[in-house]
Every structure is written in structure tokens, then in C-alpha cells.
């Protein structure tokens, strides 16, 4: 789903105050956040609706949206501001991986454990249907394996217009830019220049209108999905809405179920409830408790050189080196120190437990920098940005050259959508530590989101260069909150985002 950037043949005046009113209303009801850069586009779309419905002006139109009878008009507004850009078998490596790895694994597990022989898959944000129908065709290719299983494919979207098109199952050539010819020949009929999907495939998918930020969310009706695809959807939500959606998706997954996001999406700072996995150069998430002692999170300054090859290389194990214990009393040799314990809880998404430990440390020693840095990071993950920013202010007041303080401030301002401040903080962090891959990566993300493709490409390349030559030797406790797999995903996202930028 992408937000329309329509031409601006506006017949009404839409002030910035009016835009903010609509921006808040749309976000509160749908979760979709409209950037201020879309002011002109929204004005054009609203002008069209006002003319079509013969409203006297914006005030009457807005008041209609607020009434109990305004739901239909609000739905029409959503239909006009969202355009669904998708196609069959988008990210084909994901579908191949699901077909050859995930589904056989689920089937084997259910047969071996004598679980109910039902395979449930949900396409969350299904757009005009290409994704769920791709799933259906994938399952039909596994007919023998699935012959004893009941198949349930749920496809939901917030747009009634998109769902109507999806149910029709009629597509133009542009929907098949990544589709093998055999699928067209086997499951479609060409008629009048369009491809008509066979009823066998259409009947496998149940389409439904659903807002992913609904409160209350129908979790009880949605539990037990083996696979959820929520691709290129989370990026349109603010962090607090994204966390809410991810919590709902987690609740709707079966134990050890799988979540697939877009190729260039990650859940950094949004959720650690899922376990990030990587296999055959495919990244995905599992609903599974994090192992208490996985050894996954390590001090990144010992990672050494990471070669950029395809598929992505394995990151070598770190050299053992204990984390500072300057604030702790003498403990038994095998007892876990508080910083390590907090890192373990952060890695498992147990932010409240990590916060409790870090606050205890700081109660004994208010100048313990590592604990302050980690506590600020925990507050970011909890969405408590003002608390996180307050700690950063204290860090930078004590040490204006704190790399961690500037990097965390950049993350906070990024989440607060104060782009100029975020850019400034990331640049300061890079000035102090040029080989800080995380800062280069987040700069690239900011530039890309704001349409600055040249600088976005530059920063992604910088991040890849740093990865190529190692993560740097300066001590940086924030390196320890990212797992090896997460670092590999950052590298992968940089590569994915550079591909279209290079073409442009």
C-alpha cells in the first residue's frame, strides 16, 4: 500500500490546520500516517470528494466525517488516498522459501504432534489480492503434501475498493511482472486483454475488511495462524501504532508460527517479541520464546571483517571479553552481572525487567554510563520517547562527545518525526565515530523517506563499506543490543534499498 501523490487540481482551500485535522482523524481511525509532504495531494483528493457529495466546503465535509453516519464517507476518503502497488509473487524468494521450507516443516510438526490438520495463513494488508492468490497457487503446487489438510487463507485490508477488485480476480499485465509463465497458463484465462483468475484459486481465499489498529482487535477470532504475511504495511504506521499492530499479529500467530515482512522492513525498536531468523538469505520472524543463554547478543567490536557476498556471509563469533562491572560488588565467578542480565532481557523483549535492573544500577551509581545508555534504549523500545530523551540530555550534558548519546537522540527524533534534529544527531555521531554503521544506516533510511535518493544511496553505501571492513574498534554498548542476525538484516536492507536507487 502506498499513499497517493495525486495531481493538485484543487477547487478548495485546505489550510495547514485543516490538513492536521484530517491527518489526526485518518491516523486515529486507520493507523495510516500521512506525511506533511502529502498536503497538496490530500487537498486534491478532498476537493474531489467535496464536489462529488455537494458539500459547501471543508467544514461541512469534516463534520460529516465525525458523525455516526460518516463511516461510509470516511471509507471513501481512505479509498482515494491509498493506492495499492503490488503484484503476484512479489519477493519471489520468500514464496519459494515458504513452499520448500516453511510449509513442509509445519506439516511435519502437525503430523508428528497429532495437531489438528489445518493450515491457516493470513495476508494482512492484502491490497488487491495478488499476495493471497500467490499463496493459494503456492499451496496448489503442494497438493499431494497437503491432501489431508484443511486450508484456510484469510486476506484483509482497510480499503473496500481494493477488496472489491481482489474478489473480482481480474488483472492486467502489470500484476505479473515477476510471475513464471506456467502460473499464467495454469491458473488464468486471458480475455479482453486481462487475465481472469480461475475459480479454483479464488475460492481458496476469504477476503474481509479489517483495520489492523482496531481497538478492540478481534484477537479471539484470529488466533492460531501458522503464517502471517504483513508486507510493506508497518512502514505506514507511526511507531506507537506499529507496536500495537505487531502485538496483535503476535497474538494471532500459533506458537512457533511465522511472520514475513517486506524485504526492506525490520522490527528494530518496534518489537523483540518475535525471534528474527535467517536461512538461505531469507529473513523472517518466529513466535517463540527467546533462549535465556543463546550467546546471540555479543559485543560487536569483536565481530571482525564481514565480507559482502551473496548469499550473505556468516558473521564470525566474537572473542570473549567481559562487560564492565564497575558498579557491582564482588560476585561469584559464574554469577551474571547486572549489565549482562539487562542485555539478555532486552534481547528477549523483556523491557520492563531490563528497566528494573538498570534503574537499580543507576540508583547505586548515577554516573554509570553503560546503564544510562541501555535504559534510554529500553525507553525507546517501550515508546517512552520523552523519558529516553531526558536520559540522552543528561548523557550529552555530562559528555558532549558521547557517540551513544547522539545516536540515541537521532533514533528518538526519528521516531518523533523531527527529521532535521534526527539528521543532525546522526551526523554528529558519525563525525565522532566515522565507522558507525548504525548511524549511516539510519541516515539512509531518513533520506530515503524524505525523497533524497542521492544521499540515501550514499549512506547505504557507507554502511555497507563499514560492514565490509568490520564494525569498528571503539567501545559502543549499543552494538550489544543488536543480534548477529539483526546486523545481517541491516546489511541486507541496505543492499535491497540500493538496487532501485542504483537504477534511478
The tens place of each residue's pLDDT in the chain, 504 residues long, gives 444 444 444 456 778 888 888 888 888 888 888 777 677 777 888 888 888 888 888 889 999 999 877 888 888 888 877 766 799 999 999 999 999 999 999 999 999 887 789 999 999 999 999 999 999 999 999 999 999 999 999 999 998 989 999 999 999 999 999 899 999 999 999 999 999 999 999 999 999 999 998 888 999 999 999 999 999 999 888 888 899 999 999 999 999 999 999 988 999 888 888 999 999 889 999 998 654 434 444 333 333 332 233 333 333 333 334 434 344 444 444 577 899 999 989 888 889 999 999 999 999 888 889 999 999 999 999 999 999 999 999 999 999 999 999 999 999 999 998 999 999 999 999 999 998 999 999 999 999 988 899 999 999 999 999 887 765 445 567 778 888 888 889 999 999 999 888 776
Report yes or no: 46 and 40 within 8 Å, Cβ to Cβ.
Answer: no
* Residue 424: per-residue pLDDT: 97
Q: How far is CA 337 from CA 116, 357, 482, in A?
A: 44, 10, 19
What is the gyration radius of the CA atoms in the chain, in angstroms?
Answer: 24
Report yes or no: 189 and 136 within 8 Å, Cβ to Cβ.
Answer: no
Does the structural domain 300-503 have CATH classification 1.10.3720.10? no
* Residue 68: per-residue pLDDT: 77
Report yes or no: 202 and 169 within 8 Å, Cβ to Cβ.
Answer: yes
Cell numbers representing residue 432 in the block: 565522532
Query: Using CA atoms, how far apart are residues 128 and 125, in angstroms rounded to an integer?
Result: 9
* Residue 288: per-residue pLDDT: 83
Query: Using CA atoms, how far apart are residues 303 and 319, in angstroms rounded to an integer?
Result: 8
DSSP annotation string for 276-336? EEEETTEEEEE--PPPTT---S--GGG-------SSPPPPPPPPP-PPP-TTSPP--TTSP
Query: Using CA atoms, how far apart are residues 307 and 479, in angstroms rounded to an integer?
Result: 18
* Residue 168: per-residue pLDDT: 97
DSSP annotation string for 79-124? HHHEE----TTSSHHHHHHIIIIIHHHHHHHHHHTT---EEEEEEE
Domain ranges in the chain are: 2-83, 92-286, 300-503
Query: Which residues does 52 contact at the CB level (< 8 Å), separation at least 6?
Result: none
Phi, psi (degrees; rounded to nearest 5) at 137: -65, -35
Report yes or no: 161 and 37 within 8 Å, Cβ to Cβ.
Answer: no
Q: How far is CA 468 from CA 54, 300, 307, 312, 479, in A?
A: 60, 14, 5, 12, 16
Query: Using CA atoms, how far apart are residues 416 and 386, in angstroms rounded to an integer?
Result: 10
Query: Using CA atoms, how far apart are residues 143 and 165, in angstroms rounded to an integer?
Result: 27
Query: Which residues does 212 contact at the CB level (< 8 Å), separation at least 6?
Result: 31, 124, 125, 156, 158, 230, 233, 245, 248
Query: Which residues does 163 contact at the CB level (< 8 Å), separation at least 6?
Result: 126, 157, 207, 208, 209
Residue found by looking up cell 481494493 in the block: 162
H helix runs in 141-238, sequence order: 160-168, 181-187, 199-202, 219-222
CATH of 2-83, one of 1.10.155.10, 3.40.640.10, 1.10.3720.10, 2.60.40.10: 1.10.155.10
* Residue 370: per-residue pLDDT: 92
Phi, psi (degrees; rounded to nearest 5) at 423: -60, -45
Cell numbers representing residue 174 in the block: 502489470
Q: How many CA atoms lie within 13 A of 133 on its CB side?
A: 30
Q: Is residue 300 exposed (0-12), middle (13-18) or buried (19+ Cβ within 10 Å)?
A: buried
Query: Using CA atoms, how far apart are residues 22 and 46, in angstroms rounded to an integer?
Result: 10
From edge to edge, which strands make up the β-sheet containing 194-197? 170-171, 194-197, 188-191
Query: Using CA atoms, how far apart are residues 241 and 236, in angstroms rounded to an integer?
Result: 9
Query: Using CA atoms, how far apart are residues 142 and 100, in angstroms rounded to an integer?
Result: 9
Indicate the Cα dihedral angle 363, 364, 367, 371, nearest 10°: -70
Of 241, 206, 240, the closest CA to residue 221 belongs to: 206
Q: How far is CA 375 from CA 327, 417, 431, in A?
A: 15, 21, 24
* Residue 290: per-residue pLDDT: 53
Of 30, 449, 422, 482, the closest CA to residue 235 belongs to: 449
Helices (H) and strands (E) in the chain, counts: 21, 12
What CATH homologous superfamily does 92-286 map to?
A: Vaccinia Virus protein VP39 (3.40.50.150)
Tell me: cis bond preceding 311? Omega within 30 of 0 counts: yes
Indicate the Cα dihedral angle 144, 145, 151, 155, nearest 10°: -100
Of 100, 171, 90, 157, the closest CA to residue 123 belongs to: 157
Same fold yes or no, 92-286 and 300-503 = no
Long-range contacts formed by 185-194: CB under 8 A, 24+ apart:
187/137, 187/140, 194/170
Amino acid at each position: 500500500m502506498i499513499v497517493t501523490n495525486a495531481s493538485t487540481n484543487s477547487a478548495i482551500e485546505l489550510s495547514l490546520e485543516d490538513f492536521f485535522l484530517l491527518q489526526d482523524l485518518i491516523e486515529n481511525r486507520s493507523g495510516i500516517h500521512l506525511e506533511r509532504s502529502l498536503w497538496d495531494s490530500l487537498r486534491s483528493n478532498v476537493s474531489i470528494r467535496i464536489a462529488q457529495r455537494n458539500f459547501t466546503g471543508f467544514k461541512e465535509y469534516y463534520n460529516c466525517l465525525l458523525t455516526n453516519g460518516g463511516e461510509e464517507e470516511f471509507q471513501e476518503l481512505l479509498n482515494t488516498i491509498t493506492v495499492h502497488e503490488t503484484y503476484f509473487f512479489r519477493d519471489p524468494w520468500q514464496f519459494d522459501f515458504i513452499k520448500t521450507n516453511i510449509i513442509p516443516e509445519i506439516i511435519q510438526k502437525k503430523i508428528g504432534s497429532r495437531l489438528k490438520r489445518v493450515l491457516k495463513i493470513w495476508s494482512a494488508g492484502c491490497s488487491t489480492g495478488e499476495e493471497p492468490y500467490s499463496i493459494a497457487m503456492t499451496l496448489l503446487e503442494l497438493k499431494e503434501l497437503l491432501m489431508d489438510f484443511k486450508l484456510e487463507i484469510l486476506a484483509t485490508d482497510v480499503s473496500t475498493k481494493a477488496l472489491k477488485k481482489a474478489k473480482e480476480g481480474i488483472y492486467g499485465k502489470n500484476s505479473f511482472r515477476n510471475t513464471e509463465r506456467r502460473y499464467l497458463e495454469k491458473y488464468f484465462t486471458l480475455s479482453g486483454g486481462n487475465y481472469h483468475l480461475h475459480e479454483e484459486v479464488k475460492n481458496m481465499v476469504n477476503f474481509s475488511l479489517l483495520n489492523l489498529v482496531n481497538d478492540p482487535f478481534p484477537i479471539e477470532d484470529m488466533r492460531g495462524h501458522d503464517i502471517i504475511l504483513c508486507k510493506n504495511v508497518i512502514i505506514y504506521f507511526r511507531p506507537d501504532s506499529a507496536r500495537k499492530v505487531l502485538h496483535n499479529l503476535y497474538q494471532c500467530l500459533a506458537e512457533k508460527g511465522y511472520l514475513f515482512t517486506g524485504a526492506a522492513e525490520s522490527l528494530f525498536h518496534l518489537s523483540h517479541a518475535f525471534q528474527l531468523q535467517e536461512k538461505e538469505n531469507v529473513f523472517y520472524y518466529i513466535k517463540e520464546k527467546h533462549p535465556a543463554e543463546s550467546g546471540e547478543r555479543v559485543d560487536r567490536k569483536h565481530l571482525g571483517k564481514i565480507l559482502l557476498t551473496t548469499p550473505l556471509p556468516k558473521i564470525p563469533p566474537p572473542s570473549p571479553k567481559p562487560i564492565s562491572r564497575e558498579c557491582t560488588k564482588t560476585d561469584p565467578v559464574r554469577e551474571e552481572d547486572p549489565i549482562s542480565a539487562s542485555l539478555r532481557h532486552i534481547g528477549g523483549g523483556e523491557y520492563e525487567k531490563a528497566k528494573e535492573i538498570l534503574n537499580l544500577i543507576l540508583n547505586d551509581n548515577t554516573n554509570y554510563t553503560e546503564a544510562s545508555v541501555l535504559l534510554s534504549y529500553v525507553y525507546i523500545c517501550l515508546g517512552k520517547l520523552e523519558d529516553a530523551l531526558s536520559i540522552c540530555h543528561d548523557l550529552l550534558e555530562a559528555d558532549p562527545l558521547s557517540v551513544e548519546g547522539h545516536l540515541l537522540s537521532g533514533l528518538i527524533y526519528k521516531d518523533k518525526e523531527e527529521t532535521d534534529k534526527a539528521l543532525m544527531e546522526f551526523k554528529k555521531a558519525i563525525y565522532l565515530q566515522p565507522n558507525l554503521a548504525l548511524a549511516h544506516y539510519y541516515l539512509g533510511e531518513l533520506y530515503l523517506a524524505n525523497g533524497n535518493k542521492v544521499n540515501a544511496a550514499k549512506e547505504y553505501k557507507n554502511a555497507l563499506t563499514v560492514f565490509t571492513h568490520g564494525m569498528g574498534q571503539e567501545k559502543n554498548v549499543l552494538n550489544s543490543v543488536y543480534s548477529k542476525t539483526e546486523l545481517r538484516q541491516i546489511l541486507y536492507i541496505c543492499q535491497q534499498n540500493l538496487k532501485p536507487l542504483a537504477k534511478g
